[in-house]
Structure 1
């Protein structure tokens, strides 16, 4: 949610920042803007709308200067208007800021500043930062930013520039993600590496309560407690700008669906010593709580089944936004296992910080190395699946499930079996993608005309029912509900009528016959029953064939692929952009 980028160097800043904004679109936004400095002149162009359309009107690429800051806004305080878009300026028009996060005490700060004569142009919480810096400015932007930061409560990642000090960008953060990119004769700052990896792979992750002052030739780091210098180590981003491109696919989502065979192979390339130590820690722990949101939670539910059935280890799985109400009562020594693609999910981070303060041990499964969750963790396992740009997660979900599969078998002393299974699975998923595309397109186009759809499963297949329903509703906007098949008679059966699409997750495993009975019951009420199974049955109006496999715990991987494709084609048939569904963001960095 929201993305920021700053640049200082020799390149035309307007063009670079516009390109950076395009790469930040996946984070979700409703407005955007750019501020550049050319000598002592500050220029701001911003408005509500899509970035490509805004550029046609505002011509970001023509903005003068070789330094600047830019922002994609997700409205939280104030409507979607030009005035509320970032960057925000102070009264004099000399200072500009961009901000990601939420300033909790902005109302009292705004009242205080207004009483001093400051005039506000927006409804946002962010604008107070520019005026606070102005109020403290005495010829030194760094000191003014330091004094302003001390007054802020809440979460923030801020970039600030001043026309009175051209040649400097000041950055500071608490709880919202921010990194600095180190170039040769140029420096960058951004919410994540996506908009800057084309120019540099050397990055420094700022921790909470840290700041940086950037010139084209230097990056100096400070503590927000006392502005004393800090020594920071640079990390290397392991993927390239090409990895974050569409590479000939019409959408990122379709590309990422088709990257899943490679994602499964990449998961196998774990550091085996780290995996063994991770597995041993989980085995010894008296209590393990997995916390996650959305798709990541569905992978954790699948992981719960895998750990139980393979290693005999029971874990709890909680929605991160609900876990925070219990985090203060977690017993010391409990392992809290965070699952997150981005590693920046605000609800997850909040629960981790609170439980860690009570003595919990933090471990994680993440895709982004160096992310906030990764840095907070004692140990992390990595998805290794490269950047995922589409808002709706596909290959990261596949990789998360694969990590749990490896972990469960490592705990049981069967890692070699799991690695062989995943290699086999990679080939089976490729077979599905090669064979199922046309049929899934037809089903997706059929679903696009419906108002509701239901997904049913038992045991581990219930998690796939949840994930399949989420995929459909988040990108096609067709209402969909995933539920345990056994709960059907406890309310939802009342919604089934003639023609209602019902997807039954029914591989030939320990749940097969009971699930089949539930599916037949929906058909008796007029539902059109889609059966996802390796075994054909006359009860299905339409059979979506799953490949045969050697382990029933591999069926969730095979079941989700057709459901991802169906959701994708339903979205396209409705004229939606599956990469950027309305009202949603890839990285949910505010609560």
Structure 2
């Protein structure tokens, strides 16, 4: 699960981007990189295979500018090397791109671009994106039109953020399919884009969540939202509070240890407002499934990935032991490919720490199409 952050505004971008990468470390990664516009003329890029601290020491305070993007990567296509780390650029170095997801048709696109004379410097699927955008710009399309046209050509679930030397204060992002989330932060003469709220909330309280097939064009003083038909759309602005203690490691050496020690409080918080120990009643006011439908449930199916899958495995035991309802679990990445047999009286429970796990989102979409009752457990608001 890659981490993405972008900033454009009146402050120095580099410290904000590095701080955000530190906040995104919990997502896991094997390489990191950053691009910042230098003197509003051209972007300067640093990449490293390893930790954010290694990237920070490489920068050594030399990277100055008011807009930039940064990224932490889990390798999917290509080894975890400096060459394959993000950001990636086009052939002439005018574009800088960070990406979360998989370009499923990248081999086909790469072949087409090579036939047009493009030269690639990495083995990643990501590098096809800046080359595609460059190709459309060379045909005479505007920056935002070129990004939208490129987005329409790539297959799969992808979240992408792009900078262009010819537009140093502009960042364009798009989300396609059920890739990791992209959240726009709107501040005072500054704007941010990130894959997680923890990277945004230290700087602004107004946020907008990008949905499937949507584009955001960020400038310091305003943000425009479009769809992939290039039409301007209206988006709801949400207010979020900044609780710095929630994302900080505090006195603990690492986040896992912090989470272990926080379990009692987390359990109590999850029960507050939902269970009354005075009359032993359960009050799930956010549950949209009717009582009548719940009473007809004959089987519970749980899914997740990683530690969320482990939670699903444990949940299966608890549901069968405490509720007496047959239960089953599966890895989200395998679920939708095996033609699962799901009856109409099944309750489908999906579990995701981030709320962005692509395979889990795809399984949820399949259940939505089958009109199966669903509950989702997520740590991210």
TM-score, normalized by length of structure 1? 0.59
The yes-or-no answer on 1:78 pairing with 2:82 is: no
2:259 corresponds to: 256
1:265 corresponds to: 268
Partners of 1:277 and 1:2 lie apart in 2 by 32
Unaligned runs of 5+ in 2: 275-282
The yes-or-no answer on 1:274 pairing with 2:285 is: yes
2:207 aligned counterpart, secondary structure: strand
Q: Structure 1 residues 239 and 341 mapped into 2: Cα distance closer, same or farther (>3 Å)?
A: farther
Q: Comparing both structures, which one devotes a greater share of its residues to strand? A: 2
Contact 2:300-2:325 within 8 A present in 1 as well: no
Partners of 2:321 and 2:170 lie apart in 1 by 57
1:114-168 per-residue CA deviation (whole Å, 9 max, x = no partner) reads 1111111111110110010000013621101011111101121111111111221
Q: Structure 1 residues 42 and 328 mapped into 2: Cα distance closer, same or farther (>3 Å)?
A: same
1:372-426 per-residue CA deviation (whole Å, 9 max, x = no partner) reads xxxxxxxxxxxxxxxxxxxxxxxxxxxxxxxxxxxxxxxxxxxxxxxxxxxxxxx
Q: Structure 1 residues 270 and 298 mapped into 2: Cα distance closer, same or farther (>3 Å)?
A: farther
Partners of 2:294 and 2:350 lie apart in 1 by 13
Contact 1:331-1:358 within 8 A present in 2 as well: no
The Cα of 1:12 is off from its aligned counterpart by 0.3
Q: Structure 1 residues 329 and 246 mapped into 2: Cα distance closer, same or farther (>3 Å)?
A: same
1:5 corresponds to: 5
2:124 aligned counterpart, secondary structure: coil
* Number of equivalent positions: 367
1:86 aligned counterpart, secondary structure: coil
1:18 corresponds to: 18
Partners of 2:183 and 2:268 lie apart in 1 by 29
Contact 1:15-1:62 within 8 A present in 2 as well: no
2:280 corresponds to: none
TM-score, normalized by length of structure 2? 0.90
The Cα of 1:81 is off from its aligned counterpart by 1.9
2:361 to 345, 349, 355: 349
1:531-551 per-residue CA deviation (whole Å, 9 max, x = no partner) reads xxxxxxxxxxxxxxxxxxxxx
Q: Structure 1 residues 203 and 104 mapped into 2: Cα distance closer, same or farther (>3 Å)?
A: same
1:134 corresponds to: 134
Partners of 1:278 and 1:270 lie apart in 2 by 18
The Cα of 1:362 is off from its aligned counterpart by 2.8
Contact 2:201-2:241 within 8 A present in 1 as well: no
Contact 1:14-1:62 within 8 A present in 2 as well: no
Matches within 5 A, 1:396-545: none
Contact 1:46-1:58 within 8 A present in 2 as well: no
1:181 aligned counterpart, secondary structure: strand
Q: Structure 1 residues 193 and 124 mapped into 2: Cα distance closer, same or farther (>3 Å)?
A: same
Q: Structure 1 residues 188 and 276 mapped into 2: Cα distance closer, same or farther (>3 Å)?
A: closer
1:516-544 per-residue CA deviation (whole Å, 9 max, x = no partner) reads xxxxxxxxxxxxxxxxxxxxxxxxxxxxx
Contact 1:21-1:72 within 8 A present in 2 as well: yes
Matches within 5 A, 1:176-255: 176=179, 177-224=181-228, 226-238=229-241, 240-255=243-258
Contact 1:327-1:354 within 8 A present in 2 as well: no
1:31-68 per-residue CA deviation (whole Å, 9 max, x = no partner) reads 11111123122211112122212222233x43121011
Q: Structure 1 residues 367 and 359 mapped into 2: Cα distance closer, same or farther (>3 Å)?
A: same
Partners of 1:127 and 1:88 lie apart in 2 by 6
Between 42-51 and 98-107, the greater mean CA deviation after superposition? 42-51
Contact 1:34-1:87 within 8 A present in 2 as well: yes
The Cα of 1:193 is off from its aligned counterpart by 1.0
Partners of 2:192 and 2:376 lie apart in 1 by 28
1:321 corresponds to: 333
Contact 1:186-1:215 within 8 A present in 2 as well: yes
Partners of 1:78 and 1:277 lie apart in 2 by 43
The Cα of 1:245 is off from its aligned counterpart by 0.9
2:167 aligned counterpart, secondary structure: coil
Q: Structure 1 residues 312 and 101 mapped into 2: Cα distance closer, same or farther (>3 Å)?
A: same
1:168 aligned counterpart, secondary structure: strand
1:194 aligned counterpart, secondary structure: helix
Between 149-158 and 272-281, the greater mean CA deviation after superposition? 272-281
Partners of 2:81 and 2:324 lie apart in 1 by 54
The Cα of 1:310 is off from its aligned counterpart by 3.8
Q: Structure 1 residues 319 and 74 mapped into 2: Cα distance closer, same or farther (>3 Å)?
A: closer
Partners of 1:13 and 1:330 lie apart in 2 by 49
Between 325-334 and 36-45, the greater mean CA deviation after superposition? 325-334
1:222-266 per-residue CA deviation (whole Å, 9 max, x = no partner) reads 112x12122111233455122211222222222222212211210
2:174 to 172, 175, 182: 172
The Cα of 1:293 is off from its aligned counterpart by 2.7
Partners of 1:12 and 1:47 lie apart in 2 by 21
Q: Comparing both structures, which one devotes a greater share of its residues to helix? A: 1
Q: Structure 1 residues 256 and 239 mapped into 2: Cα distance closer, same or farther (>3 Å)?
A: farther
Partners of 1:305 and 1:91 lie apart in 2 by 54
Between 248-257 and 215-224, the greater mean CA deviation after superposition? 248-257
